[in-house]
Amino acid sequence: MSTPLCTTLNPNVPPVIVGAGPAGIRAAQTLVAQGLRPILIDEAARGGGQIYRQPPPGFSRPPEALYGFEAARARAVHDTWLTLLPQLDYRPDHLVWNAGPGWLDVLHGDQTQRLAWSQVIVATGATDRVLPLPGWTLPGVYTLGGAQVALKYQGCSIGRRVLLTGTGPLLYLVAYQIAKAGRAHGVQVAGVLDTAGWGGKIAALPALLTQPATLGKGQYFLAWLRAHGVPVHWGVQPLRVLGQERVEGLLWRDRQGREHRTEADGLALGYALRSETQLADLLDCRFEFDALNRAHLPVRDPAGRSSVPGVYLAGDGAGIQGADAAEWAGERAALALLEDRQGHRPGPRGQLLEARLARIGRFRQGLEQAFPFPVRWAAQAPDELVVCRCENITAGELRQQVKDSGAPELNRLKALSRVGMGRCQGRMCGVAAAEILAHASGLPIDQVGRLRAQAPIKPLPLMAQAAQADPANAAETD
């Protein structure tokens, strides 16, 4: 285990929460209830996170249209956020782009400041897990999450004829949301192409039945899509995005090996979600490979404590479990912070939350069985496929680099090829690069490592970089 960054609690420094999604908001609520005034930092303009993302002020669509079955839950989270605002040091439109022992670098507009922390709850959420395919850089190709943001935040569809491919529950949710919202506006869902087979979904039913309400929602989405004429196919292999100047469709292979062409002017793709772990990495949290998530994740105890004293992890940023679990994890992490701050032992509420989170684990295993990662993707990826679009690095270049250098680890491959050195810092290409390296080297995926986080976590404006280069121009706060 690495040397802890922060070992001394300073009661004069308020707790900091990074992320105002379900986990962050419930954590803030728990701390406020105990008389604290935490600092709540969020990239978005309004609280709610990705799943309960709020539209701009004046947006007319009701919550039922935006969130469907989750409208009541979204209202509850938003109402809690609004009620808490007078009792928080709330900082919307702020990006934590770097971190170190007892400090966070925070960007607002083009100004950056250094914020002190003694205890920090990291609730950074998740983003799409992407596996590229030929043509994925064409205009009109989005991630599933990107298509959902356009729909929730601006009421926009990514096309008039939209095709969705990949796997995971989000695939069906976004298809349902686009199809339902677009019916009155001439938007059509051309199809849902799931790379996972139907047999795995049947085999996963015993585990999925541990959360019957959630399972019921998924079944409803599928039934609604089929009842409204949306083609749904399982066990497919996406082959190539069609089009020259922008997306015109998709070439894909069905489970019998037959090729098909489906026309579309918007394509959304994604393979479930991946945790946003960069901030936990910069805070020097210890990571271990998690087979269920097929990723290296920061280590935490059942209460949310990381390997670094004073750093707590909550929500999908520490492992994908869903919105309900994120709320429970946010509250539990805040209780752990209070226990450490006040020297108390865990109480009944903390034990109840830990039990709930443990039960979610069985359901999560069922989801992975129903929507497995396409482990053959790397073997099927053609050499000319662009894996890292920022640096225009192809699968063939990565394979050749492994062959020539014997690069056994992902950061070594990054140094040799520049994969993951662009704007996204590997957030989009890291999963695919690791899969290519594992296949090319013959190593198990858990042995090829992970891309280490580098500051800035996300791109900064030039003015902010200039201020950071001159410490006299960078604000520092306690």
What's the pLDDT tens digit per position in 166-211? 999 999 999 999 999 888 889 999 999 999 999 999 999 999 999 9
The region of weakest confidence among 67-71, 95-99, 187-191 is: 67-71
Q: Flag whether 26 is in a domain.
A: yes
Distance between CA atoms of residues 371 and 204, nearest Å = 9
- Assess whether 192 and 249 both reside in one domain: yes
Residues in CB range of 33: below 8 A, 6 or more apart:
none
Do residue 122 and residue 178 come from a single domain? no
CATH code (residue 305): 3.50.50.60
Supply the Cα-derived Rg of the chain in whole angstroms: 22
Q: Looking at the 3D structure of the chain, how many domains does it have?
A: 3
Instruction: Tell whether 142 and 185 lie within a shared domain.
Output: yes
Burial of 137 (0-12, 13-18, 19+ CB in 10 A): exposed
Please report the pLDDT score of residue 6 as a whole number. 44
Tell whether the model's pLDDT for residue 239 goes beyond 80: yes
For the cut 90, the answer to whether the pLDDT of residue 2 exceeds it is no
Whether 95 and 47 map to the same domain: the answer is yes
- Is residue 209 located within the same domain as residue 263? yes
Residue 467's pLDDT is what? 56
User: Looking at this protein, which amino acid is placed at residue 50?
Assistant: Q
Across the chain, mean pLDDT equals: 92
Cα(251)–Cα(282) distance, integer angstroms: 41
**Angstrom distance (rounded) from CA 233 to CA 226:** 11
Residues 296 and 261 grouped into a single domain:
no
Specify if 456 maps to a domain. Answer: no
Q: What pLDDT digit, counting tens, does each position of 109-165 carry? A: 989 999 999 999 999 999 999 999 999 999 999 999 999 999 988 889 999 999 999
- Which domain covers residue 337, as residue numbers? 16-127+274-343
Could you tell me what percent of the chain has a pLDDT over 70? 95
Please give the pLDDT value at position 63: 80
Instruction: Tell me, yes or no, whether 91 lies in a domain.
Output: yes
DSSP H or E stretch at residue 331: helix 323-342
In this structure, is residue 225 part of a structural domain? Answer: yes
Give domain status of residue 466, yes or no.
Answer: no
Query: Where residue 7 falls among pLDDT bands split at 50, 70, 90?
Result: very low
Residue 414 · residue 420 · CB < 8 Å = yes
Is there a single domain that holds both residue 217 and residue 251?
yes
pLDDT at 463 over 90: no
Q: Give yes or no for residue 213 having a pLDDT over 70.
A: yes
> Are 143 and 264 members of one domain?
yes
Do 206 and 250 lie in one domain? The reply is yes
